């Protein structure tokens, strides 16, 4: 029997909240601690929490909280197909996209796993035909570029994953097509992309689960206008990723349609057809399959009850301790990898849209803070931007570093006795210690208080498998934190009000205040 209770009703929560400020990083940091505070993850990754403000006592109570809150049992209920999204009365099945964790999940007489596998195969087969020229433009010439049209989860995740693997694919001879993305309803976005590609050799992917997303449909019309003006038939240059019940399904205006269902949330859809179509076209179906394998391997580790063997669960518990006991309001995602330049933006949506809630899964207010503000940039760029506040500001911001021993490309140069990649890794190591231990100085302006907690996820190099594992780590961390806070992490009512008011503005159905803003914006 699973009990869905608010966190502050749990005895282990009360114990954890009483342990604020128990650990001084300056006093505990050592080589032995760095070596011992690690959890092996899938895809060759390791999660290291040595620079987090935890000790054996705190970890013990975190284990009690994980057990009392039934976190792995709730995960099992999710992947076995129970209704977890209470706001929309839906299952939550993105884990099933990449592999079977539990029992078969059926709906509407359909086996969900077999459906997802069929779509993965259909996409891989279509991509292979595009690559060999069986599917070509009207002149019989191969498509060389793919452009995804979508917004939110239909853009952020797939874009981040493509950028993450682009250089790896170049090095390994896997780059089949270049990919670009159109998301913003601002016409400058779509027009700039259309102007940057050879339209005659470009395939567009329209992504909208409902088939009614306002920004996406506006961009579709903009792209079709460009194609027509170039003397091209849009129906020969577009495919759709949508639900089987949307107006885009089996529509002759598209070369092909691929499907997702209502049980895949947009921000968790990178491993669905939403990410699968663009990644398979760009890199091949085998690369997308390897990405899914890495995610599934990490999902299996998330089933482990022992928090010292479950990196995503431990990361979630430490994050809750930092948010609720320590009172830290935000978290920075800092990948020391240019390939992950858009990964923080994806996690902004994944985390803040999921756990940015003030009522529990039953619609009752909670009496504790929930999801943190997420932001970030790749290192070392961030060091020359906002690290000043992170080091010496009045707020303490927990940090989540990501790093790799090797770059994705072979090209590198030696400057002042070391390669660029070694300089990157040296910066990462230095920042972890600088944030944790700080520095004293006779000049107060040069003093660093330290005690800035951080973790690091690291591996040999960024590959499809390790990227899949990294994505699943954060998806599962977000899920576990939502379970602890007793939230529904799988709806997003917070984005709906603005959409409704936008429709009122466009229809001219406005109150005086809304009309005043519309007027100054030229409407």
User: Which of 26, 46, 30, 28 minimizes the C-alpha distance to 38?
Assistant: 46
**Residues 101, 303 contacting (CB under 8 angstroms):** yes
Give the number of other Cβ atoms within 10 Å of residue 23's Cβ: 16
* DSSP run (H or E) holding 418: strand 418-419
Q: In what order do the strands lie in the sheet with 145-149?
A: 178-182, 145-149, 202-207, 238-243, 257-260
Closest CA to 406 of 415, 419, 416: 419
- Give the contacts of 424 (CB within 8 A, at least 6 positions apart): 336, 379, 380, 403, 407
Q: Distance between CA 207 and CA 265 in Å, rounded?
A: 13
Q: Are 186 and 220 in contact (CB under 8 A)?
A: no
Count other C-beta atoms under 10 Å from residue 63's C-beta: 18
Cα-Cα-Cα-Cα dihedral of 260, 265, 268, 270, to 10°? 30
Backbone angles phi, psi at 377, to 5 degrees: -150, 160
In this prediction the pTM is 0.97
Q: Is the dihedral of CA 144, 150, 154, 157 positive or negative?
A: positive
Whole-number Å distance between alpha carbons of 87 and 354: 12
- H helical segments located in 340-418: 343-355, 387-392
Q: Which 3 state secondary structure label does DSSP give 496?
A: helix
Burial grade of 15 (CB within 10 A; 0-12, 13-18, 19 or more): middle
Integer-rounded Cα radius of gyration of the chain: 24
DSSP 282-339: HH-HHHHHHHHHHHHHHHHHTT-S-GGG-HHHHHHHHHHIIIIIS---EEEEEEE-GG
Q: pLDDT tens track of the chain, all 523 residues?
A: 999 999 999 999 999 999 999 999 999 999 999 999 999 999 999 999 999 999 999 999 999 999 999 999 999 999 999 999 999 999 999 999 999 999 999 999 999 999 999 999 999 999 999 999 999 999 999 999 999 999 999 999 999 999 999 999 999 999 999 999 999 999 999 999 999 999 999 999 999 999 988 999 999 999 999 999 999 999 999 999 999 999 999 899 999 999 999 999 999 999 999 999 999 999 999 999 999 999 999 999 999 999 999 999 999 999 999 999 999 999 999 999 999 999 999 999 999 999 999 999 999 999 999 999 999 999 999 999 999 999 999 999 999 999 999 999 878 889 899 999 999 999 999 999 999 999 999 999 999 999 999 999 999 999 999 999 999 999 999 999 999 999 999 999 988 888 889 989 999 998 999 999 999 999 9
Name which of 108, 189, 161 is nearest 274 in CA terms. Answer: 161
Measured from the Cβ of residue 445, the count of other Cβ atoms closer than 10 Å reads: 6
- DSSP assignment letter at 427: H
Q: How far is CA 349 from CA 2, 76, 78, 202, in A?
A: 28, 24, 21, 29
Q: Could you give the 3-state DSSP secondary structure of residue 168?
A: helix
DSSP collapsed to 3 states, 67-115? HHCCHHHHHHHHHCCCCCECCCCECCCHHHHCCCCCCCCEECCEEHHHH
Residue showing tokens 């229809």: 507
The answer to whether the bond into 139 is cis (omega within 30° of 0) is no
Dig out the tokens for 176 from the structure. 């089949």
The residues assigned a catalytic role are 353, 384, 499
């Amino acid at each position: 029997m699973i009990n869905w209770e608010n966190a502050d009703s749990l005895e282990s929560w009360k114990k954890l909240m009483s342990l604020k400020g128990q650990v001084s990083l300056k006093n505990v940091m050592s080589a032995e601690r760095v070596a011992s505070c690690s959890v092996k993850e899938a895809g060759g990754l390791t999660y290291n929490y040595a620079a987090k403000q935890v000790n054996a006592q705190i970890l013990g109570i975190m284990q009690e909280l994980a057990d009392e809150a039934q976190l792995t049992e709730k995960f099992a209920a999710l992947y076995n197909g129970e209704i977890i999204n209470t706001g929309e009365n839906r299952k939550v099945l993105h884990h099933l996209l990449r592999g079977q964790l539990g029992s078969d999940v059926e709906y509407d007489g359909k086996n969900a796993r077999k459906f997802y596998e069929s779509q993965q195969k259909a996409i891989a087969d279509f991509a292979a035909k595009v690559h060999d020229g069986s599917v070509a433009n009207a002149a019989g010439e191969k498509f060389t570029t793919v452009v995804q049209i979508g917004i939110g989860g239909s853009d952020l995740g797939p874009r981040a994953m493509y950028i993450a693997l682009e250089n790896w694919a170049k090095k390994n001879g896997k780059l089949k097509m270049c990919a670009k993305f159109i998301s913003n309803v601002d016409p400058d976005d779509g027009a700039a992309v259309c102007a940057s590609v050879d339209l005659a050799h470009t395939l567009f992917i329209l992504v909208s689960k409902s088939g009614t997303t306002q920004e996406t449909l506006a961009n579709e019309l903009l792209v079709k206008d460009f194609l027509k003006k170039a003397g091209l038939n849009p129906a020969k240059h577009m495919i759709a990723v949508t639900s089987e019940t949307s107006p885009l399904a089996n529509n002759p205006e598209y070369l092909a349609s691929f499907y997702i269902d209502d049980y895949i949330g947009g921000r968790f859809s990178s491993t669905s057809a939403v990410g699968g179509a663009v990644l398979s076209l760009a890199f091949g179906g085998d690369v997308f399959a390897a990405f899914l394998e890495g995610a599934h391997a990490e999902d299996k580790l998330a089933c482990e009850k022992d928090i010292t063997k479950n990196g995503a669960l431990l990361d979630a518990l430490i994050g809750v301790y930092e948010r609720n006991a320590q009172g830290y309001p935000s978290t920075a995602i800092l990948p020391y990898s240019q390939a992950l330049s858009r990964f923080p933006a994806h996690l902004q949506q994944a985390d803040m849209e999921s756990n940015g809630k003030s009522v529990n899964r039953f619609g009752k207010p909670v009496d504790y803070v929930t999801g943190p503000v997420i932001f970030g940039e790749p290192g070392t760029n961030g060091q020359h931007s906002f690290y000043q506040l992170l080091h010496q500001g009045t707020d303490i911001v927990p940090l989540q570093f990501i790093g790799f021993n090797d770059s994705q490309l072979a090209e590198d140069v030696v400057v002042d006795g070391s390669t660029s990649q070694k300089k990157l890794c040296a910066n990462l190591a230095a920042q972890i210690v600088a944030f944790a231990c700080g520095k004293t100085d006779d000049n107060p302006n040069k003093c660093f208080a330290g005690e800035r907690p951080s973790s690091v996820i690291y591996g040999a190099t960024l590959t499809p498998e390790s990227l899949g594992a990294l994505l699943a780590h954060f998806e599962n961390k977000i899920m576990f934190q939502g379970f602890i806070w007793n939230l529904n992490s799988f709806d997003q009512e917070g984005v709906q009000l603005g959409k409704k008011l936008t429709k009122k503005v466009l229809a001219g159905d406005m109150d005086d205040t809304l009309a005043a803003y519309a007027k100054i914006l030229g409407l």
